[in-house]
Amino acid sequence: MKKLGSWFVPYLMGLLIMFEGVALAVLAREIELVDVLVMDQMMTLVLAVVLIVLGLLLFVPLFPQLQRLSESLMKRMQVIAAVAVLVISLVFLLIAAPANVEGIGGIGKNWVVLAAAQLFLLGILAFVFLYYEPLANRRLAWLEWLGMFAACLVITEGVTVFGLRVQDKLNVHGELVVTGPILMIVIGVVLVALGIFEMVIFNRRREGESEKALEMMDWAGIIVSLAIGAIGLFGLTITTSMTMDGRIYSYYWLLIASMTLAILAPLLNYTQTVVAGREGWNMDIGLISTIILLMAVPFALAF
């Protein structure tokens, strides 16, 4: 576990989760998710304590005094803590709604979703890198680490889109009008699936894999990256302000979401291609598709 690029991630995520719990405890007050849930000051404080405890469970195995305990027990504790953080964040993404915070006022649904999504990102990074075993080659290990991180970002964007799903109408001004949450749910689920598939491809280093299986994974990696890029590029072509359930969002919301996918796609494609290290057409097609994805970004912005 204590290898390049992997050992520190769960500890760092645990520390950040713990800090978020402390901040929430200090600012504990009544929070109402409109028409969904009312959390009084005590409930908010309990949630803060839970986050502090989960953060500590991820972080404390770093202390030398605890190294005497079973390594498998320490890792099991960390896995349980990471999963618990994921569950908490997914619950809030599922019930996300505009909030009223005592002493502060109203907060839009988008900020509630972003708060839950960043907690989800911390949880999934901790979970993924608890099981990640880096390559022996230092350069390839960093590239693979970067690719795994990018895949986590794709999954996080998927759950964010799901959390932002409209109940009434989505109106991308002058470009698209959709009634109901189905479109955003589908996009969110597809992004989560594509991100998970990217992780599966990065973990293809198994002894005894046949040449045919490796070739299929090469093609799968390119196709998945192109699919992620296509979603991002399409978003860039229709970037404008939008109205979601009667609330107007500036164009930069769609711009940032789309640009993120448009940049992550070639990054994933490149890291997969180089880490695979397979010479010939596999490397050529991977690098060419990476260049195409990058070159498509300014064209999509100008469209």
Residue among 130, 140, 122, 128 nearest 198 (CA): 128
Say how many C-beta atoms besides its own lie within 10 A of residue 223's C-beta: 13
Domain ends where: 133, 164, 192? Answer: 133
In this prediction the pTM is: 0.91
Q: Does 203 lie in the same domain as 285?
A: yes
Looking at residue 3, its pLDDT comes to 45
Q: Does 278 lie in the same domain as 144?
A: yes
Evaluate if residue 288 carries a pLDDT over 90: no
Q: Does 226 lie in the same domain as 188?
A: yes
Q: Does 298 lie in the same domain as 176?
A: yes
Say how many C-beta atoms besides its own lie within 10 A of residue 106's C-beta: 10
Between residues 132 and 243, which one has the greater pLDDT? 243
Domain ends where: 93, 110, 133? Answer: 133
Q: Does 111 lie in the same domain as 8?
A: yes
Domain ends where: 114, 133, 152? Answer: 133
Q: Does 202 lie in the same domain as 272?
A: yes
Give the model confidence (pLDDT) of 121-180 as tens digits: 999 999 988 887 777 777 888 888 899 999 999 999 999 999 999 888 888 988 888 888
Evaluate if residue 191 carries a pLDDT over 90: yes
Boundaries of domain holding 142? 137-303
Work out the average pLDDT over 8-36.
Answer: 89
Evaluate if residue 276 carries a pLDDT over 90: no
- Quote the tokens at residue 301: 């912005």
Q: Does 162 lie in the same domain as 17?
A: no
CB proximity list for 260: less than 8 A, separation 6 or greater: 153, 157, 232
Backbone torsions φ then ψ of 177, nearest 5 degrees: -130, 125
Looking at residue 282, its pLDDT comes to 66
Question: Measured between alpha carbons, how far is 19 from 32 in angstroms, rounded to an integer?
Answer: 23
Q: Does 39 lie in the same domain as 77?
A: yes
Q: Does 266 lie in the same domain as 156?
A: yes
Looking at residue 6, its pLDDT comes to 58
Evaluate if residue 2 carries a pLDDT over 60: no
Evaluate if residue 207 carries a pLDDT over 70: no
Q: Does 125 lie in the same domain as 204?
A: no
Question: Measured between alpha carbons, how far is 62 from 169 in angstroms, rounded to an integer?
Answer: 48
Q: Does 202 lie in the same domain as 159?
A: yes
Work out the average pLDDT over 214-243.
Answer: 89
Percent of the residues in the chain that have a pLDDT greater than 70, as a whole number: 89
Looking at residue 7, its pLDDT comes to 62
Q: Does 299 lie in the same domain as 150?
A: yes
Contact 13/19 with Cβ under 8 angstroms? Answer: no
If DSSP states are collapsed to H, E and C, what string results for 117-181? HHHHHHHHHHHHHHHCCCCCCHHHHHHHHHHHHHHHHHHHHHHHHHHCCCCCEEEECCCEEEECC
Question: Measured between alpha carbons, how far is 167 from 160 in angstroms, rounded to an integer?
Answer: 15
Question: Measured between alpha carbons, how far is 247 from 269 in angstroms, rounded to an integer?
Answer: 36
- Quote the tokens at residue 186: 């589908």
Looking at residue 4, its pLDDT comes to 41
Contact 82/131 with Cβ under 8 angstroms? Answer: no
Evaluate if residue 1 carries a pLDDT over 50: no
Question: Measured between alpha carbons, how far is 17 from 25 in angstroms, rounded to an integer?
Answer: 12
The pLDDT mean for the chain works out to: 86
Percent of the residues in the chain that have a pLDDT greater than 90, as a whole number: 44
| Range of lowest pLDDT (32-36, 70-74, 143-147, 265-269) | 70-74
Structural domain total, the chain: 2
Say how many C-beta atoms besides its own lie within 10 A of residue 258's C-beta: 23
